[in-house]
């Protein structure tokens, strides 16, 4: 339901237990929309993220977007949220509320980090994961002494009579979505000439 720059979204929980998860709503925005804010039924702003699918060609404002937000609902129940269109850029998220974030380091590696984990992807090594650190467990899951890489694709090429690997050629790593609720990376690599 939409009224004067706001869209109401009802989130249903059809399971028998409480859920706190990321919900996604597709929003058609008015001309001049620069971002969104999501408010729960109690009037509290909830963490959200905007993925712009299309912009208005004449002013570059948002035309169509997917708005992700933290939603919770009781078992076999629902909750209602208001997605408000903003005519100014949304305020920057504070470091404490940052959630998950991806960044490219000076050395070209891409780091995805949240309060729970830190993942490092190395494009120079075929997009391999060179570190997967579970912060609360104080555990590094990548064995750096192994001759094989985490996330490496490897196989034996019968016609060439040799082992081939994605780590033999650099990959391109693109950050498709960049927090604060979700990060998505695309890794474009090669194995031999494929």
Tens of pLDDT, residue by residue over 6-61, are 899 999 999 999 988 999 999 999 899 999 999 999 999 999 999 999 999 989 99
pLDDT at 6: 87
What would the mean pLDDT of 105-113 be, rounded to a whole number?
A: 97
Average pLDDT of the segment spanning 81-95: 80
CB 65 within 8 A of CB 50: yes
Q: How does pLDDT run across 128-156, given as a tens digit for each residue?
A: 999 999 999 999 999 999 999 999 999 99
Cβ-based neighbour number of residue 175 at 10 Å: 16
């Amino acid at each position: 339901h939409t009224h004067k720059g706001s869209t109401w979204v009802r989130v249903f929980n059809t399971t028998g237990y409480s859920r706190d998860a990321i919900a996604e709503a597709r929003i058609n925005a008015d001309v001049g929309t620069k971002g969104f804010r999501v408010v729960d039924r109690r009037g509290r702003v909830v963490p959200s993220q905007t993925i712009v699918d299309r912009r208005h060609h004449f002013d570059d404002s948002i035309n169509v977007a997917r708005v992700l937000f933290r939603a919770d609902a009781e078992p076999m129940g629902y909750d209602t949220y208001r997605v408000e269109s903003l005519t100014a850029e949304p305020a920057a998220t504070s470091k404490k509320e940052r959630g998950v974030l991806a960044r490219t380091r000076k050395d070209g590696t891409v780091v995805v980090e949240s309060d729970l984990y830190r993942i490092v992807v190395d494009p120079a090594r075929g997009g391999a994961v060179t570190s997967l650190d579970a912060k609360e467990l104080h555990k590094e899951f990548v064995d750096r002494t192994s001759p094989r890489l985490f996330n490496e694709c490897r196989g034996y090429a019968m016609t060439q009579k040799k082992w081939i690997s994605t780590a033999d050629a650099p990959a391109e790593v693109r950050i498709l979505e960049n927090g604060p609720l979700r990060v998505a990376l695309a890794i474009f690599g090669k194995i031999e000439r494929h």
